[in-house]
A and B are shown apart, each in its own frame.
Chain A
Amino acid sequence: MFPTAIVVLQLLPLDGTGTASDLMQSAVDLARSGLPAGTGRRARRRAAPWLVIAALFVSLLALLPLAFIIWIAVQTGWETVSALVFRPRVGELLVNTVLLVLLAVPITVVLSVALAWLTERSDLPGARLWAWLCVAPLAIPAFVHSYAWITMVPRLHGLWAGVLVSVIAYFPFLYLPVSAALRRLDPALEDAAAALGLGPWRVFQRVVLPQLRLAICGGSLLVGLHLLAEYGLYVFIRFDTFTTAIVDQFQSTFNGPAANMLAGVLVSCCFVLLGLEVLVRGEERYARVGSGAARHQQRTPLGRATIPCLAVLVATTLLALGVPFVTIGGWLAAGGTAVWRFDEIGLALGQTLFLALAGALLATVAAMPMAWISIRAPGPLQRLLEGCNYIVGSLPGVVIALALVTITVRIAMPLYQTLFTILVAYTLMFLPRALVSLRASIAQAPVELERAASSLGRPPLQALWSTTIRLSAPGAAAGMALVALGIMNELTATQMLAPNGTRTLAMAFWSYSGEIDYASAAPYAFIMVAMSLPLTWLLYVQSKRMAGR
């Protein structure tokens, strides 16, 4: 699964040069990934061969899981494949998954647009606080949301429960880009529409909403991919999706072709979503036309609607933050000091931090050649390679893990369940996060400096090190933090791939809650949330800065 931590961040630039939608686009766009910053023709040059080779290697590695699924399908033979794919169980899962996406995504869109408008464009009291509270649920891993809800309402299960918890867990993924886009809109356009005789509601319909299309499309895609990839959330409320079925299948029959074929269908679903988004988004680019700074936006007075609008925000906050906090707090209180088994918790924390940092480092190093080429020597080959990376990044963790399990078991048994394999899995899963951050920060380091270093006698690698790499260090660090957070809350791939004896925070949480020992699971949930909260603050601040405030 994609852990809760924050794929959205990969869509937000870390330096303020690009726009959320630019990056959102590149995060999912195979064909043309928009560069975040002004890299003029002057910056273009040919990349050093070793860099190209390195980038090529990383991209091929990234394609491994996809290639593997195709290879397995070919090897299994058409008859077995069709027997495994065209059966009632798969149909059931497909219906469940499609219904989940069809219900949860539109509800999330409506909720996020309403929340974003209220916090950004109305005179709602305490708008800044509410804006931050709308981002904060991101700090809570999706499976912790579900754990909280099942504690509160033990009978919760099935499709509508899935929709409820999914909307609550994932609406910030849409809220963030939509509110950022709203903040960036040029109010002169709305004035122009009003002067042309349109009332407020029609201005919203005909001018504001169309300009939010990119943000809504990108955010919806993100939410959709998360719905497909999520595991823990749906296990708690006993709702079967492809991902839960694959993990079940894996646990009962290890790496049988049945699990692999389910993974194939799941990947197809992801591709359908990616394709749909490209279709709906179209070729539009809604850049602000004209020059000069945009005038400050006016906030719409709510008048008598203030109280009902506040009620919407209070209700959302109670559901998305109140429920998890009350539940975790309740379990911690009920468990008392007995649940704080510090030796065990310390071990889990240590292992988690080690995996997170090692994975982050590896992903960042792996992203470097690609990031450098995409800024300094962009071209069709680079776009293709980059597209590969993004597509793999959008695959569910369970698919990547399954692929790596099968490959190591069949071809390289000594690597099965080793630190190496799990780190490779993390790298594949989180490469896009590292890539986007790095790319944005390299775009900030002018190529002239690298050239100056070369002309002062530094060989190419040293020149790169002493200029571009130094300057892009903050961006790289931010990217690493994001990757580390992703790994910290990752569950599915870690369970399937980690060496024996590994017990991360998420795994410990999962195994305790699997034994219905919710009190013992609470400290782990608490630590995960506490470690993720600073990041959501960072996100909030970044999204503000991006809009130039």
Chain B
Amino acid sequence: MSFLEISGLHKHYGPVAALAGVDLSVVSGSRTAIVGPSGCGKTTLLRLIAGFEAPDQGRITLDGEVLAKDGSAVPAHRRGIGVVAQDGALFPHLTIGDNIGFGMGRGEDKRAERIVELAYIVGLDKAILKRRPHQLSGGQQQRVALARAMAMKPRLMLLDEPFSALDTGLRASMRKAVAELLEAAGITTILVTHDQAEALSFASQVAVMRDGKFSQVGTPRELYLKPKDRMIAEFLGDAIILPAKISGGFAYSPLGRIAVDTPDSRDVVRIMLRPEQIALKRTSREGMSGTPDMLFGEVTESEFAGSMCTVAVRLLNSADPPDAAAIGNTPLILRKSGMDAPTVGEIVRLTVSGTAHVFA
């Protein structure tokens, strides 16, 4: 059942089209991430859903109720949609407790108890309630903003890059905590972010946005392994893109024969592999002889960075490539565990696991 339904949404700022026809449907209780480079229109979309602005065209329905249609819109304060902004947007003139209770009626029953309860849910200590926003760390401010938005029992929660101001370690744990919390409360959530890892790990549905449109919508796995085009592929992670010829479910590429995800036959295509699909095994020049089917390479660069090591491998032999010369000189960039990464000059054997994705 589709809970939030968006169709044909357009929004212009002067001559600039911020949204050029966006369609999206979100299932009740699910988590959706909208990811895209900055300036792609994702924040505009969020502001239209929240009701801070009205769309020029298109329609937004939430739980069967029309929120916006062709220029007219229900104002934000009548929508019952929670929003957590990038920096929390806490009211600096109110205490934390009053911030959390802001959306409740002043004389509401058990207001104080509910504030304490909400603080507890988002993992804040009771003692913090008397403090002011500027006395809190960034992570705490985000928790307060979340509690404040949850206090009014929203039908839908919008998160506008809420983790981007936090440091890396805190970011991952906050993301997990928020995801679990909203899941437990059964609140449908939309997250806007420019961080692909965040989008992939947070959501059950990911929409990649570019130039005011969704270029692809799907599950995180689908988007990561079967992106529609090269840009989506590279936006969502490192990608190795190779020229190949496909037939009978296999691709013939500089990396040899690789299983692909389509039964088509075509002569000139591009296939994509994720670097983690390529395994390296140490060997030597002597080990290369007499094994014509195997693929060998020489490590030309190795950059140690703690847990990970970035390795550049130049292919030494390559089986029947369509443009071998082109690929032969371009090293493959792979990320390997820092523990036993090969060093410069070493000879390695390359093996490919899984299937390659063929771009349409």
CB <8 Å contact, B77 and A191? no
Interface segment, one of A194-202, A307-315, A457-465? A194-202
In the assembled complex, A292 has its CB within 8 A of some CB on chain B: yes
Complex Cα spacing A142 to B287, Å: 97
- Considering only residues 268-285 of chain A, those with a C-beta below 8 Å from chain B are 284-285
Residues of A with C-beta under 8 A to B50: 191, 195
Contacts of B80 in A (CB 8 A): 197
Kindly list chain A residues whose C-beta atoms are within 8 Å of the C-beta of B92: 189, 211, 285-289
- In whole angstroms, how far apart are the Cα atoms of A207 and B133 in the complex? 14
Task: List residues 231-278 of chain B with CB under 8 A from any CB of chain A.
Answer: none
The one of A194, A199, A210 that contacts B93, using a Cβ cutoff of 8 Å: A210
Query: Would you call A289 and B152 a contact (CB within 8 A)?
Result: no
Instruction: Decide: A189 near B89, CB < 8 A? Known: A194-B76, A289-B134.
Output: yes
B82 — nearest CB in chain A belongs to which residue? A195
- Which residues in window 134-170 of B have CB below 8 A to A? 134, 138, 141, 145, 148-149, 151-152, 165
A284 proximity list for chain B (CB < 8 A): 93
B93 near A287 (CB under 8 angstroms)?
Answer: no
B102 within 8 A of A: yes
* Chain B nearest CB, measured from A293 CB (Å): 10
Asked if B36 is at the interface of the complex by the 8 Å CB criterion, the answer is no
Residues 80-123 of B contacting A (Cβ, < 8 Å): 80-83, 85-94, 102-103
**What 1/0 mask marks residues of chain B from 348 to 360 whose CB sits below 8 Å from any chain A CB?**
0000000000000
Q: Which residue of A lies closest to B80 (CB)?
A: A197
Q: Which of B51, B53, B102 contacts A193 (CB 8 A)?
A: B102
* Chain A nearest CB, measured from B90 CB (Å): 5
Q: Is the CB of B152 within 8 A of A197?
A: yes
Query: Do the beta carbons of A287 and B85 come within 8 Å of each other?
Result: no
Residues from chain B with Cβ under 8 Å of A191 in the complex: 47, 50, 52, 76, 83, 85, 89
Closest to B79 in A: A195
A residues near B85, Cβ cutoff 8 Å = 188, 191-192
Cross-interface CB contact of B89 among A192, A210, A286, cutoff 8 Å = A192
Task: Please measure, in the bound complex, the distance between the C-alpha atom of A288 and the C-alpha atom of B165, giving whole angstroms.
Answer: 15
Distance in Å from the Cβ of B255 to the closest Cβ of chain A? 43
| Cα of A210 to Cα of B99 in the assembled complex, Å | 14
B186 at the interface (CB under 8 A from A): no
Tell whether, in the assembled complex, residue A196 and residue B93 are in contact, meaning their CB atoms are under 8 Å apart.
no
Which residue among A195, A199, A203 has the maximum number of chain B CB atoms within 10 Å of its CB? A195
CB-CB under 8 A from B51, the residues of chain A are 194-195
Residue A291 lies at the interface, judged by CB distance under 8 Å to chain B: yes
* Whole-angstrom CA separation of A213 from B92 in the bound complex: 12
Q: Which residue of A lies closest to B78 (CB)?
A: A197
Give the docked Cα–Cα distance between A211 and B93 (Å): 7
Residue from B83, B86, B134 within 8 A of A287 (CB atoms): B134
Any chain A CB within 8 A of the CB of B75? yes
A207 to B78, CA, bound (A): 18
Q: Which residues of A contact B76 (CB under 8 A)?
A: 191, 194-195
With CB as the reference atom, state the residue of chain B lying closest to A188: B89
Q: Contacting A213 at CB < 8 Å: which of B53, B77, B93, B133? A: B93
For B83, list chain A residues within 8 Å (CB): 191-192, 195
Within the assembled complex, what's the spacing in Å between the Cα atoms of A194 and B80? 10
Cβ–Cβ < 8 Å partners of A213 in chain B: 93
Q: Give every chain A residue within 8 A of B152 (Cβ-Cβ).
A: 196-197
- A197/B103 contact (C-beta < 8 A), A287-B92, A289-B92 known: yes
B77-A289 in contact (CB<8A):
no
Residue-wise interface mask of A (183-224) relative to B, using a CB-CB cutoff of 8 A (1 in contact, 0 not): 000101101111111111001001100110100000000000
Contacts of B93 in A (CB 8 A): 210-211, 213, 284, 286
Question: What residues on A are CB-neighbors of B52 within 8 Å?
Answer: 191, 194-195, 298
Q: Is A49 in contact with chain B by the CB < 8 A criterion?
A: no
Taking CB atoms, residues of chain B closer than 8 Å to A199 are: 75, 77
Contact with B along A423-464 (1 / 0, CB 8 A): 000000000000000000000000000000000000000000
Assess the B103–A196 pair: CB atoms within 8 A. yes
Instruction: Knowing A195-B50, A213-B93 are in contact, say whether A290-B77 is a contact too (CB < 8 A).
Output: no
Could you tell me if B87 and A292 are in contact, using CB atoms closer than 8 angstroms? Answer: yes
- Shortest CB–CB separation between residue B276 and chain A, in angstroms? 33
Q: In whole angstroms, what is the CA distance A186 to B91 when docked?
A: 10
Q: Which residue of B lies closest to A195 (CB)?
A: B83
Q: Which residues of B contact A198 (CB under 8 A)?
A: 77, 103
Find A194's partner among B75, B86, B151, B165 (CB 8 Å cutoff): B75
Most B CB contacts (10 A, CB to CB) among A186, A285, A290 go to A290
Give A191 to B84 CA distance when docked, in angstroms: 10
Contacts A191-B50, A195-B76; A289 near B141 (Cβ below 8 A): yes
Q: Does A285 lie within 8 Å of B134, measured CB to CB? A: yes
B86/A289 in contact, CB under 8 A: no
Q: Please report the C-alpha to C-alpha distance between residue A287 and residue B91 in the assembled complex, in whole angstroms.
A: 10
Please measure, in the bound complex, the distance between the C-alpha atom of A72 and the C-alpha atom of B176, giving whole angstroms.
Answer: 73
CA distance A173 to B86 in the complex (A): 35
Flag B184-215 by CB within 8 Å of A: 1 or 0 each.
00000000000000000000000000000000
Q: Given A189, A285, A292, which contacts B165 in the complex, CB threshold below 8 Å? A: A292
Q: Please give the distance in Å from B39's CB to the nearest CB on chain A.
A: 13
CA distance A289 to B90 in the complex (A): 7
Question: Provided the pairs A194-B52, A196-B102 are in contact, do residues A189 and B149 lie with their beta carbons within 8 angstroms?
Answer: no
Bound-state CA distance A314–B81 (Å) is 41
CB distance from B166 to the nearest CB of A (A): 11
How many angstroms between the C-alpha atoms of A298 and B13 in the bound complex?
Answer: 12
A290 surroundings in chain B (CB, below 8 A): 86-90, 138, 141, 165
Residues of B within 8 A of A203 (CB): 77
User: Once the chains are docked, how many angstroms separate the CA of A94 from the CA of B155?
Assistant: 59
Inter-subunit contact A289/B133 (CB<8 Å): yes
Which chain A residue has the least Cβ–Cβ distance from B165?
A: A291
Residues of A within 8 A of B88 (CB): 289-290
Provide the residues of chain A in CB contact with B81, threshold 8 Å: 195
Proximity bits, B61-84, A CB within 8 Å = 1, else 0: 000000000000001111111110
CB distance from B191 to the nearest CB of A (A): 16
- Complex CA gap A213/B94 in Å reads 13
User: Across the two chains, which residue of chain B brings its CB closest to A202?
Assistant: B77
| Separation of A394 and B103 alpha carbons in the complex (Å) | 42
Instruction: Looking at the assembled complex, report how far the CB atom of A199 sits from the nearest CB atom of chain B, in whole angstroms.
Output: 5
Structural contact, A196 and B134, CB atoms closer than 8 A: no
Q: How far is the CA of A287 from the CA of B87 in the complex (A)?
A: 13
- Write the chain A residue with the least CB distance to B43: A295
Least Cβ distance of A182 to chain B in Å? Answer: 15
Chain B residue numbers with a CB within 8 Å of A207 are: 91
Closest-CB distance, B320 to chain A (whole angstroms): 53
B103 to chain A: closest residue by CB:
A196
Query: How far does the Cβ of A223 sit from chain B's closest Cβ, in whole Å?
Result: 23
A286 to B92, CA, bound (A): 5
A186 touches B77 (CB 8 A): no
Q: How far is the CB of A80 from chain B (nearest CB, A)?
A: 49
Contact A289 to B87, CB < 8 A, known contacts A195-B50, A195-B77: yes
B210 to chain A, nearest CB (A): 22
| A284-B135 Cα distance, complex, nearest whole Å | 12
Neighbouring A residues of B90 by C-beta, 8 Å: 289-290
Cβ of B43 to closest chain A Cβ, rounded Å: 9
26 A-B pairs, CB-CB below 8 angstroms? Answer: A188-B86, A188-B87, A191-B47, A191-B76, A192-B145, A193-B91, A194-B75, A194-B77, A195-B51, A195-B52, A195-B79, A195-B82, A195-B83, A196-B151, A199-B75, A200-B75, A206-B102, A211-B93, A289-B88, A289-B133, A289-B141, A290-B88, A290-B89, A290-B141, A291-B165, A292-B87
In the complex, besides A191-B83, A195-B77, A196-B102, 14 extra interface pairs with C-beta distance below 8 angstroms are A188-B87, A189-B89, A191-B47, A191-B50, A192-B145, A195-B50, A195-B81, A196-B151, A206-B102, A211-B92, A284-B93, A285-B134, A287-B134, A298-B52
6 smallest beta-carbon distances between A and B, as pairs? A290-B87, A196-B103, A194-B76, A188-B89, A195-B83, A192-B89
A contacts, CB < 8 Å to B = 186, 188-189, 191-200, 203, 206-207, 210-211, 213, 284-292, 298
